[in-house]
Amino acid sequence: MLQYLAALVLLGHGLGHIIGPLASFGVKVKGMAERPSWMLPGNRDMKGAVGKAWSVIWIIAIIPFVISSAGAFMGELWWRDWAIIGSIISILAILPWWNSVIGGVKAGLLLDIAILIVLLTSLGEDVIEFFELP
């Protein structure tokens, strides 16, 4: 049963990446900053050309999490690789916009870090066992 919960968390996390493109294309997302908030050099905001182009990265992050969720749901070992890929893309999507994203997105970045720790270090074996994942 916990395996399915883990799969649903992966799926929800992946689908949550739709917030970036929604905000970039003018959909009001409560809590998203309206001010320029690009953390890299230059004065950019999510609704500008850079933010709209960056939406592609947010959308791409959805795909590996959906695949990972399906793998975890089916009890396949390959779910791990897709979760790692998704977490890396997710971090790349979120980090430059740290000053403008809502708390849930920031929590998602923490989940990405937790996924990487669990799947890339020996610390995660107990977590994987707890969730009855392969």
| Mean pLDDT calculated for residue range 5-12 | 94
In a domain, 107, yes or no: yes
Q: Got the DSSP string for 89-126?
A: HHHHHHGGGTTTS-HHHHHHHHHHHHHHHHHHSGGGHH
Residue 47 falls within a domain, yes or no? yes
Give the residue-averaged pLDDT of 97-105. Answer: 84
Q: Which has the higher per-residue pLDDT, 67 or 96?
A: 67
Report yes or no on 33 lying in a domain. Answer: no
Q: What is the mean pLDDT of residues 101-117?
A: 92
| C-alpha to C-alpha distance for 111 and 107, rounded to whole angstroms | 6
Q: In this structure, what token pair is assigned to residue 32?
A: 């998203």
pLDDT at site 131:
82
Alpha carbon of residue 21 to chain centroid: 13
- State yes or no: pLDDT of 54 exceeds 70: yes
Mean pLDDT of the chain: 88
Q: Specify if 78 maps to a domain.
A: yes
In tens, the pLDDT along 30-47 reads: 777 665 566 666 667 778
Q: What pLDDT does 46 receive? A: 78
pLDDT of residue 36: 52
Q: Which domain holds residue 7?
A: 2-27+43-130
Per the domain annotation, does 35 fall within a domain?
Answer: no
The total number of structural domains that make up the chain: 1
- What is the pLDDT confidence band of residue 84, given thresholds at 50, 70 and 90? very high
Radius of gyration of the chain (CA): 16
